[in-house]
Structure 1
Amino acid sequence: LGGVLVLVISKLALGFVGEDVQRKAVGALLLGGAVVAIVPIFALLAIPTYRVIRLAMAVPEIYFFPVALVAMAIAVFLFGKVAGLALFALVLAIKFPAIGPIPRVLFILAGAVVGGVVGAALIVFTQLDHQALNLMSLVMPALLPVIALAIGIAAYALGGSLREKLPARTILPVIGAVAAAAIAFVGLREPSGETRTAITERSYLGSRLIPMVRKLRDKDKDGHSAFFGGEDCDDNDPTVYPGAEEVPGNEKDDNCLGGDGKLEAPPPPSDAGVPVAIKDAGAVVTSAGGKNVLIIFVDTLRYDRLGIAGYQRDGKSITPNLDKLAGESVVFKNAFAQAANTPRSVPSFLGSRYPTQLDIDKGKKTNYPMINDGNELLFEVLKPAGFKTIGMTSHFYFCDRTRAPSSCPDVVSWMKTNIQQGADEWDNEGALNIPESNRDIAGPRTVAKAKKKLEALAKADTKFAMLVHLFEPHSTYVEHDGYPITERGTESLAQKYDYEIAVVDKRIGELLETLESSGLAKATTVVVVSDHGEAFGVHTVSGQRMFFHGQTLYRELIHVPLMFRIPNVAPRVVPEVVQLIDLAPTIAALFAVTPPATWQGRSLAPAFEGKPLDPKPAFSELVRVPDWDHESQSMITADGNRHVLLYDSTWEIYDLAADPAEKANLADKDPDADKLKGQLTGFIERPRK
């Protein structure tokens, strides 16, 4: 019974927590909920279990053990090793001698409960990055009866003599009731910003209860509430809520950003639809990119982890190969992603559009939306120019069982991202389903097949554009030989992450060596980019420390590497702020390919000639998904000095020069706050098509 309990808890916990189990800070709480829900069910099974055990005890050993062995074999075959071990433990328990006056059946059932608890703990500490989980979510509820008992003892035991001295004790309940009503009345008043933040972000109970009450108090059922400083500015109009598209001139603040939008919407911040040749006159560098382009896409890589950014671990850089490549490249030191997770960032930089402007299938709410054919992705633009377009990956995100039915047999059938648009070939062999992929070491097989393909392309003298995806820095972080983990707690997460980067750096070195040995290096532009960064608990949301990615837009999540090694172009470091949506137009410009009108980015080609880039801000978006019901927008100012964020309905402004960790919110203190908020509001209220 204990083994079955472990199995069920495991399945439910992994299912409840979601598709990326190790990323959810509520994982332990949900696991606890699963345990609580299952215990009554198994309690109901106690009587039939008791009877079965009693019958088994009466079976002679000459028959009992052969039948037990067959049952264990069947259990292993049908349900795996854990079920077999559980049945083995039950067999031993049944034949275990009685312990004094304790009935053997009770001993077995108690062992089952202990086994379930131990099994649940094993799941937490082996299947989840437990350092990032809020395990206090389990401890605090358990302490409530203890605290209540302590208060009771203090009130009725230690305070007994005081109670006897109080006159008219019957009036005390009345006073208590009046005080409770007064507290409730005060609590329902509109709180100040400081009070709201303190209760909803830093209070253990407030951060959990306020969202629940807001859902109950959502009068117009639009998913947002005005209760306790909530974000809905008109809770009687279901068309008015944060995130709604602003309709200029309708005398309504549709998106709750401070008034009706202007009839003349502000222009798109990056000159959408204007061909690169017009945006950057004279900047199209014909054939400067050589013959080929290799895009090395490293998942989840922060810029500040590179050696060229000054970072070291164990007294040395963890990215020697990337550092060497950077010394031969044009490096954009202030490049920012337009999203903080792969499903939004990758189509954004391949299609040169902000996440909310992507044409996606809105029929099904999912964390991995399908990109419709209306988007014009990079390979679709390069292919007509004579490039053989190739993807080299091994990850579930690149699966599409609809368009490639035989691919990814181990991945769920609903994964239909359509991100392979324009590819002549896309090798995604070895991709695993979502939970398994998080502990998968895909780099060796991805790099091996990429090297083999590069050598074949060199022999055939084929013009190509290849994208290679390296997954390693993504959580769950896997330990590697030669990189012992010496830190504890949350610091061990950062150490594991760093060592994953060190390993992926070696993979990049292998790819670069293959370019050299095959003779491709002199004719191939190499681009290194990441889709987003990673968080390690520096910031909190609703009282939860934020780990991993996809939940906020702080700088650690959007500041990413972007570098181009171009044949016959001198290396340099570019200080201007740029966006990942600039990547596709820049590659197009390098090979004299006309970009489509749908692209929102600009060509960075002037920087390759040493020319300064026009100052432009960088915008990012966090879109609501089933696993994270929050939205956010952010702007890095054109000079790179300020970071402006709107998270749900809360404004934040940070001075990146004085406060790179973004700890001191200047939204109410910055003299330029209104101007900065207005710039981000203009981006949010831009036309989305």
Structure 2
Amino acid sequence: MLTMSSCRINKGSRHHKQPPNILFIAVDDLRPQLGCYADPIVQSPNIDKLAGSGVVFNRAYCQQAVCSPSRTSLMTGRRPNTTRVWDLKTHFRSNIPDVITLPQYFKNNGYHTQSVGKIYHDPAKAQDAPSWSVPEISAVTKKEGKYVLPENLQKKSSKAAASEQADVPDNAYIDGQVADQALAVLKKIKDKPFFLAVGFRRPHLPFSAPKKYWDLYDRNKIPLPVPYTLPSNIPVYARHRNEELRGYSDIGFNNVIPDAKKRELLHGYYAAISYVDAQIGKVLAELDRLGLTKNTIIVLWSDHGFHLGENDLWAKATNYELDTRVPLIIAAPGKERGVKSDGLVELVDLYPTLAELGGLPVPEGLEGTSLVPLLTRPGQPWKSAVFSQFPRPWQYKGEPETMGYAIRTDRYRYVEWRDFKTDAIKATELYDHQVDPDEVNNIANIATNAALTGKLKQQLHDGWQRARPVKPNLK
């Protein structure tokens, strides 16, 4: 690893090699539903092309499956119980005011850092000026960016229809505007080392996209979710009542969604993915046109996964596999290309990974593990487990009443629901992914599984530090 002095930008040296640029691409609510993750329906050619130039992480997980806590964890390199951000309202600097965020660390080491689109959570008060060299661009979403049709714009609520298609150009919606702005920024900063974060909002609800992306799919050929229901032996707070989706004007509040509406929603999710994929393609093409690709580390990530009707769940906000597993692609100069890794990894790992790839010392206090070894040997043994959590009730005031802590190993998902004040265990869940990949059979309280449950319980309580690879810097 290079020393701090060798990787700070030295403008007085004619022979100094420019540090690698970083293009940091965030996609909101995108589960691993991409061609490079073997989805047979989606059309995502630009992300798939990026996958061919880097490493695709098949088993990457967020730390809490909702926007602000997940993004806060990633950007600070700390887990939710350290940031104490478990909701959508708390700003991390109210709890850890002096923390150096990921882009801020690069800014402090001579990089130009800039943000276009959604990187932190949406509201203006959720932004973080110390992270960036210049003010954020399009960091807050307005209703006009989500909708273009008058019937949706005229509704008083910020939530109108759950999906929208309109025969309009890409930049009629917010993500097309973000792509245009990112291209303009790239032209301005191309001659200086940069950390450019570009955040796209689809396929977050509403599933709005120009008509040409809807036209890529035949709605009747999109399969409906398998009609499993969640197991009966789980606590009521392990799931939710689809509040996020039910807030849209065309859904209703009876929690019964007809098949025709389900197909429309699925169609919209696919269209939104293809729309964002096209915008990402524009940014990657401009990076290449400017001759920057060879010296740029490209990271593509989503803040969490998403349910699309599986187990009667829509959106995120659980501890289950579909909500916590995310797409993650890293393409770095000199590293493996077009390969996949099955190592268990986490979004909190991105901070130390990028620090190391950038030739910077990994700061103390980070709660992730650098993934650089997996970029050179993707199949090597890695973490024994990854960790997520989710509070109940959701959207509480003050501290949560109950916190669900989840551990995902190679084979199992184990969840403990604990009283947040006393830490007493209130309920447990255990799923065997070898025989139950849809997590529909909670086997935690079966007597014959007592030894297994006890082992996973201990592993969860031992925590993330014990789950790290023995030699994380093995090349």
TM-score scaled by structure 2? 0.71
1:395 to 1:587, Cα distance in 2 relative to 1, 3 A = closer
Count the aligned residue pairs.
369
Q: Mark the CA change 1:374 to 1:495 in structure 2 (over 3 Å): closer, same or farther.
A: same
**1:442 pairs with 164, 174, 177, which one?**
174
Instruction: Return closer, same or farther for 1:468/1:625 CA change in 2, 3 Å cut-off.
Output: farther
- The aligned residue for residue 225 of structure 2 is none
The structure showing larger relative contact order (alpha-carbon pairs under 8 Å, at least 6 residues apart) is 2
- The structure with more radius of gyration: 1
Candidates 444, 453, 461, aligned match of 1:673: 453
Q: Is residue 651 from structure 1 mapped to residue 428 from structure 2 by the alignment?
A: yes
Cα distance in 2, alignment partners of residues 428 and 328 from structure 1? 28
Cα pair 1:470 1:504 within 8 Å, conserved: yes
- Going from structure 1 to structure 2, the CA distance change for 1:463 and 1:437 (only over 3 Å counts) comes to farther
Q: What residue in structure 2 maps to residue 379 of structure 1?
A: 103
Change (3 A) 1:621 1:645: same
User: Does the 8 Å CA contact 1:634/1:680 hold for their aligned counterparts?
Assistant: yes
Structure 1: distance between partners of 2:64 and 2:120: 19
Cα shift readout 1:495-536 (whole Å, capped 9, x = no counterpart): 211111111111111111001111111111110011001112
Displacement after TM superposition at 1:398 (Å): 4.6
Map of 1:453 onto structure 2: 185
Any residues of structure 2 matched to 1:338-349 within 5 Å, and which?
338-349=63-74
Residue equivalent to 1:587:
354
| Counterpart amino acid of residue 448 in structure 1 | D
CA contact (8 A) 1:340 1:557 kept: yes
Q: Identify the match of residue 663 of structure 1 among 437, 440, 444.
A: 440
Aligned-pair CA distance for 1:633: 1.4
Aligned-pair CA distance for 1:492: 2.6
**Is contact 2:74–2:351 with CA below 8 Å preserved after alignment?**
yes
Residue identity in the other structure for 1:553: N
Partner of 2:137: 428
**In the alignment, what sits opposite 2:473?**
none
* Structure 1 residues 602 and 436, CA gap change in structure 2 (3 angstroms): same
Shift of 1:655: 1.4
Aligned to 1:556: 322
Q: Structure 1 residues 468, 573: CA separation in 2 closer, same or farther (over 3 Å shift)?
A: same
On the 8 A contact 2:67/2:88 being kept in 1, the answer is no
The verdict on how the C-alpha distance between 1:328 and 1:288 changes in structure 2, with shifts beyond 3 A counting, is farther
Task: Tell me the equivalent position of 1:417.
Answer: 126
Q: Does 1:297 align with 2:63?
A: no
Cα separation, 2, equivalents of 1:584 and 1:498:
30
**Distance (whole Å) between structure 2 residues aligned to residue 627 and residue 515 of structure 1:** 40
How big is each residue's C-alpha offset from its partner over 1:619-648, in whole Å with a ceiling of 9 and x where there is no partner?
0011346636653211111xx211112246
Residues 48-86 of structure 1 show CA distances to partners (whole Å, capped at 9, x for unaligned) of xxxxxxxxxxxxxxxxxxxxxxxxxxxxxxxxxxxxxxx
CA contact under 8 A between 1:443 and 1:504: conserved in structure 2?
yes
**Contact map agreement 2:407 2:415 (CA 8 A) in 1:** yes
Residue pair 2:61, 2:346 contacting (<8 A) in 1 also: yes
Q: Deviations over 1:12-57 (max 9, x none)?
A: xxxxxxxxxxxxxxxxxxxxxxxxxxxxxxxxxxxxxxxxxxxxxx
> 1:350 Cα shift?
1.0
Q: Which moved more, 1:444-453 or 1:607-616?
A: 607-616
Percent of aligned positions that are identical = 25
Query: Deviation of residue 475 (structure 1)?
Result: 1.0
CA drift at 1:336: 0.6
- For structure 1, which runs of at least 5 residues remain unmatched after alignment? 1-275, 278-286, 401-415, 540-544
| Counterpart in the other structure of 2:153 | none
Aligned twin of 2:283 = 511
d(CA) in 2 for partners of 1:288, 1:636? 41
- Indicate how the Cα distance of structure 1 residues 624 and 666 shifts in structure 2: closer, same or farther if over 3 A, else same: closer
Match of 1:578 in 2: 345
What is the distance in 2 between the residues matched to 1:625 and 1:346?
A: 20
Determine which of 540, 552, 567 is the counterpart of 2:333. Answer: 567
Q: 1:321 to 1:418 in 2, by over 3 A?
A: closer
What one-letter code is carried by the residue in structure 2 that aligns with 1:617? A
1:30-109 correspondence to structure 2 within 5 Å:
none
Which residue does 2:204 correspond to in 1? 474
Tell me the alpha carbon deviations over residues 369-389 of structure 1, each in whole angstroms, 9 at most, x when there is no partner: 111123221012111221111
Q: What secondary structure is seen at the aligned counterpart in 1 of 2:47? A: helix
**Conserved? CA contact 1:376–1:596, under 8 Å:** no
Contact 1:633 / 1:684 at 8 angstroms: preserved in 2?
no
Question: In the alignment, which residue of structure 2 is the partner of 1:619?
Answer: 387
Counterpart CA distance in 1 for 2:429 and 2:206 is 30
Gaps of 5+ in 2: 3-15, 144-156, 163-171, 221-259, 419-425, 467-475
Partner Cα separation in structure 2 for residue 464 and residue 555 of structure 1: 34
CA 1:444–1:624: 2 relative to 1, 3 Å = same
Letter of the structure 1 residue corresponding to residue 351 of structure 2: A
Residues 219 and 263, structure 2, Cα contact 8 Å, conserved in 1: no
Paired residue for 1:83?
Answer: none
> Retained in 2: the 8 A contact 1:634–1:646?
yes
C-alpha root-mean-square deviation of aligned residues, in Å?
Answer: 2.9
Give the secondary structure class of the aligned counterpart of 2:431: strand
Q: Deviation digits for residues 412-449 of structure 1, max 9, x if unmatched?
A: xxxx2244432112333373458648879310111111
Question: Which residue of structure 2 aligns with residue 223 of structure 1?
Answer: none
Matches of 1:555 and 1:576, distance apart in 2: 16
**2: distance between equivalents of 1:353 and 1:366?**
15
Q: Deviations over 1:252-305 (max 9, x none)?
A: xxxxxxxxxxxxxxxxxxxxxxxx99xxxxxxxxx99952000000111111x1
Structure 1, 292-301 or 365-374: larger mean CA deviation: 365-374
- Aligned twin of 1:28: none
Do the aligned partners of residues 557 and 430 (structure 1) sit closer, same or farther apart at CA in structure 2, a change above 3 Å counting? Answer: closer
- Equivalent residue of 1:563, what SS? strand
User: Whole-Å Cα distance in 2 between the matches of residues 326 and 548 of structure 1?
Assistant: 25
Structure with more strand by fraction: 2
**Distance in 2 between the 1:288 and 1:340 partners?**
39
Q: Relative to structure 1, is the Cα distance of residues 683 and 607 closer, same or farther in structure 2, using a 3 angstrom cutoff? A: closer
- The within-5 A match list for 1:166-565 is 291-303=20-32, 305-313=33-41, 317-358=42-83, 367-372=88-93, 373-393=97-117, 397-400=121-124, 416-429=125-138, 431-432=140-141, 436=158, 441-458=173-190, 461-482=191-212, 483-484=214-215, 486=219, 488-539=260-311, 545-550=312-317, 552-565=318-331
The one-letter code matched in structure 2 to 1:570 is E
1:429 alignment partner AA: S
Partners of 2:460 and 2:119 lie apart in 1 by 35
Contact 1:338 1:620 in 2 (8 A): yes
Does structure 1 retain, via aligned residues, the 8 Å contact 2:121–2:127? no
CA contact (8 A) 1:607 1:613 kept: no
| 1:102-143 superposed Cα distances (whole Å, 9 cap, x missing partner) | xxxxxxxxxxxxxxxxxxxxxxxxxxxxxxxxxxxxxxxxxx
The answer to which of 429-438 and 348-357 deviates more is 429-438
- Following superposition, the deviation at residue 390 of structure 1 comes to 0.6
Distance 1:641 1:520, change over 3 A: same
Query: SS of the counterpart of 2:314?
Result: strand
Give the SS at the match of 1:301. Answer: coil
Structure 1 residues 576, 685: CA separation in 2 closer, same or farther (over 3 Å shift)? closer
C-alpha spacing 1:290/1:533, structure 2 compared with 1 (3 Å): same
| Other-structure match for 2:367 | 600
Q: 1:392 & 1:341 partners in 2: Cα distance? A: 20
Distance of 1:564 and 1:666 partners within structure 2: 36
